[in-house]
Amino acid sequence: MTFSLSHTPVSPLGLSFLTLKYNRSYEYCFLLFIAARFGIISTGRYCQKCTLHKPPRAHHYCACNRCVLRMDHHCVWLNNCVGYANYKNFFIFVIYTIVSCIYSLVCQYISFSSVKDSYFSVLCSCFILFTYYLQVISGLLLVLLTLALTIFMFWHVYLILQNKTTIEYHEGVRAMWLAEKGGYLYSYPYDLGAYENMISVLGPNTFCWVCPSSEQIGYGLHFHAGVDKLAGISF
């Protein structure tokens, strides 16, 4: 395999990059994919719709008609994009909702037991019978909602521990496939370790991790990468 080297501008991470021009198309696509999507090198990412510079890890969403910093997904329930500015609050909201569902299930069980006893003592009461079946249905809905939200919460716990977004996870699957096809070992650039990843998302104060407060590190325009940690680079 033959390749040539050419220098590119200094990246936002303070590192220069050597562009490898391979004679095999998938290797070159893998290089462009990593450069453009993760923003590790200065590729001049530009949003044609916003007509503005697009920072690393930012994505444009048509429904919101703007570029969202560190975009994770668009939430139809919030009618807003979840990204750098509100991701922690969204995650905490999911946890609070699960706790509320569990609390409601406990209350439903206590109330269900009392209604059941009354049902057997007063069989002619239509109101008690209606309440009995209504609590059964609402209890089943609460169980399904709790299970769905718990799975959703653990999915985002995994993303936080990896310092990924939902979009970057799917992009990483593609990048890993291209890397394996080219005979390379893919490594996600923004993975700093589990604890550092949690700090970068939930904030430096561990006592405020479960509080709906905004304590993001930086402004969402630059992000630390694993190579920065090894080189001792800070910004």
Maximum CA extent, the chain: 88
List, in order, residues 6 or more apart from 201 with CB less than 8 Å away. Answer: 87, 88, 91, 160, 163
| C-alpha count within 13 angstroms, C-beta hemisphere, residue 158 | 9
How far is it, in rounded angstroms, from Cα 196 to Cα 206? 11
Catalytic residue among 29, 47, 75, 126: 75
Q: Other C-beta atoms within 10 Å of 58: how many?
A: 22
- What does the pLDDT look like over 132-170, one tens digit per residue? 778 888 889 999 999 999 999 999 999 999 999 999 999
Q: Identity (one letter) of the amino acid at 187?
A: S
pLDDT at position 151 is 96
Helices (H), 11-125: 25-38, 87-121
What six digits make up the tokens of 2? 């033959």
CB 15 within 8 A of CB 42: no
How far is it, in rounded angstroms, from Cα 202 to Cα 186? 26
pLDDT at position 11 is 36
DSSP designation for 66: E
CB 208 within 8 A of CB 215: yes
- Low-confidence spans in the chain with pLDDT less than 70: 1-44, 113-128, 214, 226-235
Locate the domains of the chain by residue range: 87-162
What six digits make up the tokens of 159? 């993303």
Whether residue 75 lies in the annotated active site: yes
CA-nearest of 77, 145, 150, 151 to 108 is 145
Cα-Cα-Cα-Cα torsion 71, 66, 57, 222, nearest 10 degrees, comes to -110
Strands 59-61 and 52-53: unpaired
Find the length of the chain.
235
Q: Other C-beta atoms within 10 Å of 73: how many?
A: 16
Report residue 175: phi and psi, to 5°. Answer: -65, -40
pLDDT at position 157 is 95
